[in-house]
């Protein structure tokens, strides 16, 4: 269940794209449309004979042995079956992350350039022209969508932050944990490397969270190794304030119990303890911190399981924009309960992946006033849309 499945984005290769977001495997497969239904037979219950019978029904050819072998070998060699190959890939990746003193850049060379000069030119293009931000800002919310797709909202959140006002802060980065355990927060003591250099962890604050809220913490969470929601924020912060920034990175797992069963997230004792400890840190450290949220909002369309072809800013997505803005208004008003009531509607059918970082921030730092600087929708593929925003928060 750790695999991602989505319609193939390759125009001349239709089918179902399979990839491993945990990066145990670096392979990407595209299964042709005619074979997609055969994937149901890899469920640990049905046999090779069942698969062979299904292939015969599809092709009408009794000589399906070669096709069957090719499909099985392709999935196995890619690390996409739960077998010895997968176990070896998983164990090697997790062991390597656990033993490394650094969290290496997972998305360099794909989401942003690996060459420092090219990266600088790219970031100058992204950030040039933003309005100056007041020195009294407490936090910002930026997207974690691909920077090339959401750079205007990144700029709206970041570009006005002046080095002389914020470079000496500790940046508390609350990012979405797309694949982490629900009702858990992922932490790491590792340094963070990017083409700019190495960011330092706020070790004593990380230890405080782990000590006071152990039931809510996954320490050295492997999801940190490949999660982009924090990594993209580190890249922007290092561009603005220098490579040697001090960070407290936190991956926020989904509050699934609250969304699907009911009640408020803090009714989970461990979640409540973590939010309370984070709030104590915020109150004690005050202006020594700057809060940074790496958050996207709605996820609509075929890629995300909806029976609709989503187009940014039109049709159903115009309705989504109105619902997004209701949530944004509640966030900007500091109304944590009102915001979460909106998230719980229809079990969050908008699929806001940033819902838990936003709520954690609102509970840890009550009494703030937010301002929406920019709201956007972007077609991540021709049938699917992600919404996101650039926001700023002050006392």
Q: What is the DSSP letter of 112?
A: B
Number of H helices, E strands in the chain: 13, 15
Written as one string, the DSSP assignment of 40-62 is GG-SSSS-HHHHHHHHHHHH--S
Give bridge partners of residue 140 from the DSSP assignment: 292, 392
Q: Using CB atoms within 10 A of its CB, is residue 357 exposed (0-12), middle (13-18) or buried (19+)?
A: buried
> Where in the sequence is the domain holding 37, given as residue range(s)?
4-95
Do both 257 and 305 map to the same domain?
A: yes
For Cα atoms 154, 159, 165, give the angle at the middle one, nearest 5 degrees. 130
Tokens coding 133 = 């931000």
Do both 65 and 115 map to the same domain?
A: no
Single residue among 42, 64, 95 that ends a domain in this structure: 95
Q: Which residues contact 125 (CB under 8 A, 6 or more apart)?
A: 151
Q: Which residues contact 178 (CB under 8 A, 6 or more apart)?
A: 21, 223, 227, 229, 353
Do both 205 and 321 map to the same domain?
A: yes
pLDDT digits (tens), the chain, 395 positions: 789 998 898 889 999 999 999 999 999 999 999 999 999 999 999 999 999 999 999 888 878 899 999 999 999 999 999 999 999 999 999 999 999 999 999 999 999 999 999 999 999 999 988 777 777 899 999 999 999 999 999 999 998 899 999 999 999 999 999 999 999 999 999 999 999 999 999 999 999 999 999 999 999 999 999 999 999 999 999 999 999 999 999 999 999 999 999 999 999 999 999 999 999 999 999 999 999 999 999 999 999 999 999 999 999 999 999 999 999 999 999 999 999 999 999 999 999 999 999 999 999 999 999 999 999 999 999 999 999 999 999 99
Do both 125 and 83 map to the same domain?
A: no
Residue 101 is assigned to a structural domain of this protein: no
Tokens coding 5 = 């499945």
Single residue among 95, 114, 129 that ends a domain in this structure: 95
Do both 78 and 127 map to the same domain?
A: no
Do both 214 and 76 map to the same domain?
A: no
Q: Report the distance separating Cα 6 and Cα 382, nearest Å.
A: 12
Single residue among 59, 75, 95 that ends a domain in this structure: 95
Q: Specify the number of domains making up the chain.
A: 2
- The pTM score is 0.93
Q: Please state whether 116 falls in left (phi above 0), alpha (psi between -120 and 50) or beta.
A: alpha
């Amino acid at each position: 269940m750790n695999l991602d499945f989505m319609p193939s984005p390759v125009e001349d290769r239709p089918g179902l794209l399979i990839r491993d977001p945990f990066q145990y495997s670096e392979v990407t497969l595209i299964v042709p449309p005619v074979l997609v239904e055969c994937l149901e037979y890899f469920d640990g219950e049905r046999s090779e004979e069942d698969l062979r019978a299904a292939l015969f029904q599809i092709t009408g050819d009794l000589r399906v042995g070669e096709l069957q072998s090719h499909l099985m070998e392709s999935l196995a060699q890619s690390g996409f079956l739960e077998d010895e190959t997968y176990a070896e890939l998983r164990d090697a990746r997790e062991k390597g992350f656990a033993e490394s003193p650094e969290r290496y850049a997972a998305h360099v060379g794909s989401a942003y350039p690996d060459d420092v000069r090219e990266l600088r030119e790219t970031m100058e293009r992204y950030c040039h022209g933003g309005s100056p931000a007041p020195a009294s800002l407490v936090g910002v919310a930026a997207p974690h969508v691909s920077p090339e797709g959401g750079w205007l909202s990144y700029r709206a959140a970041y570009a006005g932050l002046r080095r002389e006002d914020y470079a000496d802060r500790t940046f508390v980065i609350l990012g979405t944990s797309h694949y982490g355990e629900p009702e858990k927060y992922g932490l790491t003591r590792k340094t963070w490397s990017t083409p700019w250099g190495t960011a330092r962890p706020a070790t004593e604050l990380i230890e405080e969270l782990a000590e006071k809220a152990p039931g809510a913490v996954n320490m050295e969470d492997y999801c940190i190794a490949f999660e982009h929601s924090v990594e993209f924020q580190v890249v922007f912060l290092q561009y603005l304030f220098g490579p040697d920034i001090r960070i407290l990175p936190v991956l926020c797992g989904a509050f699934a119990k609250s969304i699907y069963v009911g009640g408020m997230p803090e009714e989970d004792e461990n979640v409540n303890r973590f939010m309370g400890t984070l709030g104590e840190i915020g109150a004690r450290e005050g202006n020594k911190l700057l809060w940074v949220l790496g958050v996207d909002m709605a996820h609509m369309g075929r890629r995300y399981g909806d029976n609709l072809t989503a187009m940014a800013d039109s049709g159903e997505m115009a309705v989504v924009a109105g619902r997004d803005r209701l949530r944004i208004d509640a966030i900007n008003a500091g109304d944590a309960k009102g915001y979460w009531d909106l998230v719980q509607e229809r079990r969050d059918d908008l699929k806001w992946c940033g819902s838990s970082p936003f709520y954690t921030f609102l509970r840890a730092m009550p009494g703030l006033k937010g301002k929406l600087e920019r709201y956007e929708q972007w077609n991540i593929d021709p049938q699917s849309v992600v919404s996101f925003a650039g926001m700023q928060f002050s006392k």
